[in-house]
Structure 1
Amino acid sequence: MALITSQPKNPILHNSTTVHRSIPRLTNSLFFANNARTLKVSNFNSNSNKFSLGTNPFRTVPIISANVALTEALEPEEEGNVKYRRILLSDVEVKRERRVFFGRKWNSMDLGTAGVVLAMHVLSLFAPLCFNWRAFWVAMALYFVTGLFGITLSFHRNLSHRSFRLPKWLEYFFAYCGVLALQGNPIDWVSTHRYHHQFCDSERDPHSPTEGFWFSHMSWLFDTKSVVERCGEPDNVGDLEKQSFYRFLRSTYILHPLALGGLLYAMGGFPFLVWGMGVRVVWVYHITWFVNSACHVWGKQAWNTKDLSRNNWWVAVLAFGEGWHNNHHAFEYSARHGLEWWQLDMTWNVVRFLQLIGLATDVKLPSQAHKLRMAFHN
């Protein structure tokens, strides 16, 4: 959901979770084509660092979806005079099929993002030809450093949702780990993710599967124009904009992954570069993207969030607990996503450890009263 290339001081076009890309705000009108139901919208206040919860009605907009990808279901659903198609093995309907790769003009930002993503995938194809155990374990170590410490703990739970506080030196260290994941700088990543929660599964959501599974998974990253049209100028990351460290990472972002690639090559040659950059980056890419796509398509809903978020166990295993996505959408502020004892959440285990040794403070967890309000029987 993020921009791959370096950003200007106040970027308008770009992400991540992506990868991530910050998305600008354009209009205050919201629409969602699903029986005019009411969705929960969370608004992030960057000045207070708190979330306020509210409800917004969405009127039905009849839109005929275009041809869906081969991975999506073939049987259409009729709703009035409009035919919708369901995503394979899911009850989620594609309302507004989005064409990204053909029939539109690509700008330089789209080409830059797509070029880096493609380059990482091509580099990873050399993995079987240059396998060795040292390179493999380097990739595994960086998977934990950049994926767990960088993306799930820092970019997501600490910076996007302020689920806990860390000493600044440790907060900045974890954020730097996230930069090495090649998913964009923290300001852009966080901006996109906050907009996702604010406009979840509406027409202003940057990556909803109601516009197609592959759109929510990755292709939305390459359509800068559609993102700009949804939300307009980013105004939800004032807390990060005030800190010179995050502004520095935004202006120098692309240099840091390049430096890591050079270091890996110096340490172990081409095998280290292939496994430590290509394989590891692509692996973390798709795990991050599955939270956006699979966790809004397949799984179960434990809480009445009035959106498409699902708890998905296999994404939770791969993404260090991020797959308990319905739990997360119900209690966005919570540092713990795996709320049941059997719900594996490695990110929470790290946060809990940091709390026990006094490094993580103000750790937020859902109250029993909030759980009762979010339960389906209520």
Structure 2
Amino acid sequence: MPREHPMTAIDDRPEPTVRATMSGDHQSWAERFALALFIAVPFIAFVAAIPVAWGGWLGWSDIVITFVMYALTLHGVTVGYHRLFTHKSFKPNRAVKITFAILGSMAVEGPVIRWVADHRKHHKYSDKDGDPHSPWRYGNSLRGLTKGFVWAHVGWLFDPEQTPIEKYAPDLAKDRDLVRISRTFWVWVLTSIFLPPVLGALLTWSWQGALTAFFWGTVVRIGLIHHVTWSINSICHTLGERPFASRDFSGNVWWLAIPSGGESWHNLHHADPTSARHGVKRFQLDTSARVIWVLEKLGWVRDVRWPTPERIRAKSVSPAA
């Protein structure tokens, strides 16, 4: 196994025994049941999407609503939850901070502070004991990797043990805006669920328009964004090219780049976690980095940690690359 990937911003003291700030350090039965519903229902809808579309239940309004909702909530996770709140890749103004915390919440992947705590722990123990979602958890045999892949993709979400926020996200737990948004997570989930059918009804002025917008813009969209996000945990820690020196098995998976907003250029990310751009080589599309670039040009974010050519060379397995 690779050596531990250090994360100097995280305290190395033993796990605290006090209960976590947001919702405790154990998942309740009700939380796991709700989680199962939010995983199973979108997945079933995603499987049914092709025959539903073939049957004529897909209109232009559905396509527009689904695309816009997917783009907004995806970048809420990639730009907000991940590059901003977890890794501090840039400094936003208050409006940008609140907007991305809300958009990330609308992806229905958990409250922002809880998500950040899990991801920081992942980086501290990446692909070793302590990593919440490593596909190498059960070894490198075919059976072990198969079991580990399922664990990394979705199984870890049902682990009753929760990452302690006091250790992994104490900075966010002190931010009143983020605490308020985390505590009202259910509001943003309901907004994410009901906004598409409301838009569908307004655009088509029909109940059918509302129903199809709910199917595509809510259920299918949530299922797709969930599985794309989880694929970064499972696929990108099992497959892919590794041109940069990371202390784990993170790889670049090119065919996930567009749906993941650039997150699948995962090897560079683990080699240089605070970098605001993950796709650093030619033709490596990274829409999340482009969003940050636009915000910087508008003067809404500052101190962006863009990778320099010298730093990229230093992180490369082959310095001349």
Q: TM-score range by the shorter chain?
A: 0.7 to 0.9
Offset of residue 234 of structure 1: 4.3
Report if the CA contact (8 A) 2:117-2:164 is conserved. no
- Equivalences for 1:1-378 in 2 at 5 Å? 34=1, 37-45=2-10, 107-124=29-46, 127=49, 128=52, 130-148=57-75, 150-211=76-137, 212-225=148-161, 228=162, 234-267=166-199, 268=201, 269-376=210-317
Distance of 2:154 and 2:211 partners within structure 1:
27
In the alignment, structure 1 segments of 5+ residues that lack a partner are 1-33, 47-51, 53-105
Report if the CA contact (8 A) 1:109-1:224 is conserved. no
Offset of residue 262 of structure 1: 2.9
Relative distance call for 1:112 and 1:260 in structure 2 (3 A) is closer
In the alignment, structure 2 segments of 5+ residues that lack a partner are 13-27, 138-147, 202-209
Q: Secondary structure, in 3 states, of the residue corresponding to 2:168? A: coil
Distance of 1:109 and 1:352 partners within structure 2:
37
Offset of residue 207 of structure 1: 0.5
Q: Secondary structure, in 3 states, of the residue corresponding to 2:301? A: coil
Cα offsets for 1:85-109 (capped at 9, x unmatched): xxxxxxxxxxxxxxxxxxxxx9333
Map of 1:97 onto structure 2:
none
Cα offsets for 1:110-129 (capped at 9, x unmatched): 22211222133344456415
For 2:168, give the aligned amino acid.
N
For 1:255, give the aligned amino acid.
V
**Larger helix proportion of the pair:** 2
For 2:79, give the aligned amino acid.
L
Report if the CA contact (8 A) 1:126-1:274 is conserved. no
Distance of 1:180 and 1:233 partners within structure 2:
21
Q: Secondary structure, in 3 states, of the residue corresponding to 1:347? A: helix
**Larger strand proportion of the pair:** 1
For 2:215, give the aligned amino acid.
V
Distance of 1:141 and 1:209 partners within structure 2:
32
Q: TM-score, normalised by structure 1?
A: 0.69
Distance of 1:218 and 1:208 partners within structure 2:
11
For 2:3, give the aligned amino acid.
T
Relative distance call for 1:199 and 1:363 in structure 2 (3 A) is same
For 1:147, give the aligned amino acid.
L
Distance of 2:38 and 2:105 partners within structure 1:
15
Distance of 1:374 and 1:285 partners within structure 2:
30
Aligned-pair Cα RMSD in Å: 2.3
For 1:346, give the aligned amino acid.
T
Q: Secondary structure, in 3 states, of the residue corresponding to 1:293? A: helix
For 1:118, give the aligned amino acid.
A
Distance of 2:221 and 2:295 partners within structure 1:
26
Offset of residue 45 of structure 1: 4.4
